[in-house]
Amino acid sequence: MIKSKIIHPELISTLAKCGHKTKILIADSNYSFVTNSSPKAIIIYLNLSPGMINATDILDALLTEINVESAILMDTPADFNPEIYQEYKDRLSLEVEFTSLDRYAFYNTAKSDDLLLVIASGEKRRFANIILTVGAIK
């Protein structure tokens, strides 16, 4: 048994394959993670039921194993305030650079060969998708 915050075998194995600049997508329960991610990406299904497991819990676990250099969020409609974006920023270091892309640019980034890992969450909040870029070891 490993002493790690993450004990999911495929998830810990895939994280070990990530190098500097590798991208990881935490996808909300509305995201089309099969058609809008790299065909080379490994998809880990943690979406047992709506609300389980939520995206912020997944992010918290990932941060025990990797450094994050930057994060990409999806643009939202002008009249929508995604509170989860502030939760992401509160969890990530002040050094993490945040970028926001329109929906199709976000999908194109998720389809790039740099995306190795997709984590399908049960997150019910809309626009809770986030692409993390793995940082170097400090």
Extract the tokens encoding 135.
Answer: 């940082």
pLDDT band at 2 (very low <50, low <70, confident <90, very high): confident
Which tens digits make up the pLDDT trace of 53-64?
Answer: 999 999 999 999
> Which pLDDT score is estimated for 138?
76
pLDDT at 1: 65
pLDDT of residue 3: 83
Whether the predicted pLDDT of 11 surpasses 90? yes
**What is the average per-residue pLDDT within 11-34?**
96
Q: Which of 105, 43, 100 is nearest to 71 (CA)?
A: 100
| Distance, CA of 30 to CA of 74 (rounded, Å) | 13
- Residue range 30-42, pLDDT digits in tens: 999 999 999 999 9
Q: pLDDT tens-digit profile of 76-105?
A: 999 999 999 999 999 998 899 999 999 999
Record the pTM: 0.95
Which residue do the tokens 């643009």 mark? 75
Tokens of 5: 């915050």
Helix or strand (DSSP H, E) at 130:
strand 130-134
Half-sphere exposure of 48 (CA within 13 A, CB side): 4
- Taking residues 50-75, what's their average pLDDT? 96
